[in-house]
Chains A and B, each alone.
Chain A
């Protein structure tokens, strides 16, 4: 090949290449032009839209509430949105539970605690296209103020608690916007047990729930659980006050462990160390010695047991009772049992909605009890267990599986979820427990059980300084550290008995839940200190 040829060929190639490049450029230019055109069109449309937006003052994000105004506006509760309010114009403050835009309409589910209502923004006289778009873009869990008309619906809205009406929104303002990504979805957190797995849907495990407790507590189930728990405290107070009890407050920082030193938290206390109270035991007894006769106390209790089970927490709320009696400690047992029965009855009467809400997610049998409460002796309990094939020593404490089995046997025989087990072996009870007058192997102590799990532990206490010293020595307790306690019985002490209940356990077992963390708002266990 000559040089010329070479050159020519190269030129041809160049030309060909440039032709290709030109075509490409042209195409790109066309594309860009089209794009620009489209953008311009969209922009102009938007402009046109914005121009037409007649509802700008009907939606938006108002300035942060810093208490600048105090408008005369009545905010209606979502649970009150019923047929009686049909065709009324109301203001509501609620969370956006879900939103679903569909063309010119946007459906919202507005939630307030465990109640929710369907709301609707539709393009029309009152709402513009932009307003519907704005409503559709509000993130889930944002708090909004809404003005709307309550309208009767033809077909019941099955997915909401307010089934007979919906809210036709006329104004919507975002009071507090939520971040778009939530750490867990409320629908996943409220799905009934087992249902999610069948449909391959997500469920939220316990740890995720607890890590994001604030959001988990918003679910209807959590709202109901803690509503009911508040009811337990309220009924406890009410009942005991009626029976003439005095509520007391006791210190939680104490100098000596009340039930043996193994499972208490030690805190540094200036130049010495102190303990966190395992129970208000010593103080409520001292109140008895100080003539308060009948006392109760609701407050935190600490246990440093390194047990990670479904029913142990390191900090829980204790409901404690102590009462002086005349001749027999059963006088006290009867009072405590009746208090529990009053609580169960009160819950049934006043918290039916809550019970049913929880039942939807965690199905369980209704709680059953007898009046008067069934009382079995430890020996009878053992006999029932042995009849069922369990091998146990006379003075052995009940293990958790045996406790549960006994609960089942009692339920089968007596049809009750609540019973008292009386006369425990002395060896398994704390030093201040009064021995039985007939058989010193046993004691005047009792446990109460709900659905086969222990909720209360109590006993007649030793009110004689001499015997108390002996018992403490028998348990190898340093007398020096409990001197103040023993001394309080030297100046005349009435016979007395009492018991302590775990609030979380009562709530858990009443509702038939499976984990005490579900009934503790911010649970503390050996592995969890936050949130």
Chain B
């Protein structure tokens, strides 16, 4: 899964396909990238940051020091929280938190798209695809953000486009 994401990211950044392998660590598969020079890189966030540098689009890692820190924080969130969702309860809590965070934001960090948006979009895709119309409306800010990112040029790649209704249909349910 992580390898597919990285190749989607490569395409999104306009890079050539790299050589990936994956290494089992516990229950999860950690992606490994064999670079031309130097040692191989291990881990989703590490490789993703490397690809951004490779494509000379460092602004995707944040411009100011604060933005850089926020991007790092969400990359970590992706790996430690989103990749370890196990129960429906976990999903509900995560979406609730994210929904609150995104209430007054267009992107995860700052006013421009960053690597955090792309990586979290890929990570949440299977979760959001599973939601009912009502659930999508319950976490309306996540839905708005997700819909925006999936339409951002180049980001979606092979991921199926998900449907979001623009009108609220559950407004009168308490």
* Contact A389 B162, CB 8 Å, known A365-B172, A405-B133: yes
- Is A359 in the interface zone, CB < 8 Å from B? no
Q: How many A residues touch B, CB cutoff 8 Å?
A: 12
- Please tell me if the beta carbons of A389 and B169 are within 8 angstroms of each other in the complex: no
Interface residues of A in 389-408 (CB under 8 A from B): 389-390, 401, 405, 408
- Please tell me if the beta carbons of B163 and A408 are within 8 angstroms of each other in the complex: no
Interface residues of B in 125-174 (CB under 8 A from A): 132-134, 162-165, 167-170, 172, 174
- Please tell me if the beta carbons of A408 and B132 are within 8 angstroms of each other in the complex: no
CA gap between A457 and B162 in the complex, in Å: 33
Of the candidates B132, B133, B165, B169, which one forms a contact with A411 in the assembled complex, judged by CB atoms under 8 Å apart? B169
Complex: chain B residue closest to A193, CB-CB: B174
Give the secondary structure class of B's interface: loop
* Contact A388 B165, CB 8 Å, known A401-B132, A405-B133: yes
Query: Which residues of A have CB within 8 Å of B132?
Result: 401, 405
- Please tell me if the beta carbons of A408 and B169 are within 8 angstroms of each other in the complex: yes
Complex: chain B residue closest to A363, CB-CB: B174
- Please tell me if the beta carbons of A388 and B133 are within 8 angstroms of each other in the complex: yes
Listed from nearest, the 9 A-B pairs whose CB atoms lie closest are A389-B163, A408-B169, A412-B169, A365-B172, A388-B165, A405-B133, A388-B133, A412-B167, A409-B169
Give the secondary structure class of A's interface: helix
CA gap between A363 and B174 in the complex, in Å: 10
Please give the residue numbers on chain A whose beta carbons come within 8 Å of chain B beta carbons, in ascending order. 363, 365, 387-390, 401, 405, 408-409, 411-412
Query: Which residues of B have CB within 8 Å of A412?
Result: 167-169
Q: B10 CB to closest chain A CB, in angstroms?
A: 29
- Please tell me if the beta carbons of A408 and B170 are within 8 angstroms of each other in the complex: yes
Complex: chain A residue closest to B137, CB-CB: A408
Query: Which residues of B have CB within 8 Å of A411?
Result: 169
**7 A-B residue pairs with CB within 8 Å:** A363-B174, A389-B133, A389-B164, A390-B133, A408-B133, A408-B134, A412-B167
Complex: chain A residue closest to B163, CB-CB: A389
CA gap between A363 and B172 in the complex, in Å: 11
Interface residues of B in 11-60 (CB under 8 A from A): none
- Please tell me if the beta carbons of A387 and B163 are within 8 angstroms of each other in the complex: yes
CA gap between A408 and B172 in the complex, in Å: 10
Query: Which residues of A have CB within 8 Å of B133?
Result: 388-390, 405, 408
Complex: chain B residue closest to A194, CB-CB: B174
Query: Which residues of B have CB within 8 Å of A390?
Result: 133
Q: Besides A401-B132, A412-B167, 8 other CB < 8 A contacts? A: A365-B172, A388-B133, A388-B163, A388-B165, A389-B133, A389-B162, A390-B133, A408-B169
CA gap between A405 and B134 in the complex, in Å: 8
Tier of interface size on chain B: 10 to 19
Query: Which residues of A have CB within 8 Å of B167?
Result: 412
Complex: chain B residue closest to A386, CB-CB: B163
Q: B136 CB to closest chain A CB, in angstroms?
A: 8
Query: Which residues of A have CB within 8 Å of B164?
Result: 389
Query: Which residues of B have CB within 8 Å of A405?
Result: 132-134
Q: A417 CB to closest chain B CB, in angstroms?
A: 11
Q: B164 CB to closest chain A CB, in angstroms?
A: 8
Query: Which residues of B have CB within 8 Å of A365?
Result: 172
CA gap between A411 and B171 in the complex, in Å: 11
CA gap between A220 and B172 in the complex, in Å: 25
Query: Which residues of A have CB within 8 Å of B174?
Result: 363
Q: A476 CB to closest chain B CB, in angstroms?
A: 36
CA gap between A389 and B132 in the complex, in Å: 9
Q: B94 CB to closest chain A CB, in angstroms?
A: 21
Query: Which residues of A have CB within 8 Å of B169?
Result: 408-409, 411-412
Query: Which residues of A have CB within 8 Å of B168?
Result: 412
CA gap between A401 and B165 in the complex, in Å: 16
CA gap between A390 and B167 in the complex, in Å: 16
Q: A277 CB to closest chain B CB, in angstroms?
A: 37
CA gap between A409 and B133 in the complex, in Å: 10
Complex: chain A residue closest to B172, CB-CB: A365
Query: Which residues of B have CB within 8 Å of A389?
Result: 133, 162-165
Query: Which residues of A have CB within 8 Å of B172?
Result: 365
Complex: chain B residue closest to A404, CB-CB: B134
Q: B138 CB to closest chain A CB, in angstroms?
A: 13
CA gap between A36 and B164 in the complex, in Å: 84
Q: Which of B134, B165, B168 has the most CB of A within 10 A?
A: B165
Query: Which residues of A have CB within 8 Å of B162?
Result: 389
Complex: chain A residue closest to B129, CB-CB: A389
CA gap between A389 and B163 in the complex, in Å: 5
Query: Which residues of B have CB within 8 Å of A388?
Result: 133, 163, 165
Q: A384 CB to closest chain B CB, in angstroms?
A: 10
CA gap between A387 and B132 in the complex, in Å: 13
Q: Which of B133, B134, B164, B174 has the most CB of A within 10 A?
A: B133
Complex: chain A residue closest to B164, CB-CB: A389
Q: A313 CB to closest chain B CB, in angstroms?
A: 25
Q: A175 CB to closest chain B CB, in angstroms?
A: 43
Query: Which residues of A have CB within 8 Å of B134?
Result: 405, 408
Complex: chain A residue closest to B168, CB-CB: A412
Q: A188 CB to closest chain B CB, in angstroms?
A: 22
CA gap between A21 and B169 in the complex, in Å: 85
Complex: chain B residue closest to A512, CB-CB: B172
CA gap between A390 and B129 in the complex, in Å: 11
Query: Which residues of B have CB within 8 Å of A363?
Result: 174
Q: A411 CB to closest chain B CB, in angstroms?
A: 7
Q: Which of A365, A387, A388, A408 has the most CB of B within 10 A?
A: A408
Complex: chain A residue closest to B171, CB-CB: A412
CA gap between A405 and B169 in the complex, in Å: 9
Q: B139 CB to closest chain A CB, in angstroms?
A: 15
Q: B83 CB to closest chain A CB, in angstroms?
A: 25
Query: Which residues of A have CB within 8 Å of B163?
Result: 387-389
Query: Which residues of B have CB within 8 Å of A409?
Result: 165, 169
CA gap between A409 and B167 in the complex, in Å: 9
Q: B52 CB to closest chain A CB, in angstroms?
A: 32
Q: B36 CB to closest chain A CB, in angstroms?
A: 43
Proximity bits, B108-126, A CB within 8 Å = 1, else 0: 0000000000000000000
Complex: chain B residue closest to A411, CB-CB: B169
Q: B135 CB to closest chain A CB, in angstroms?
A: 11
Interface residues of B in 70-125 (CB under 8 A from A): none
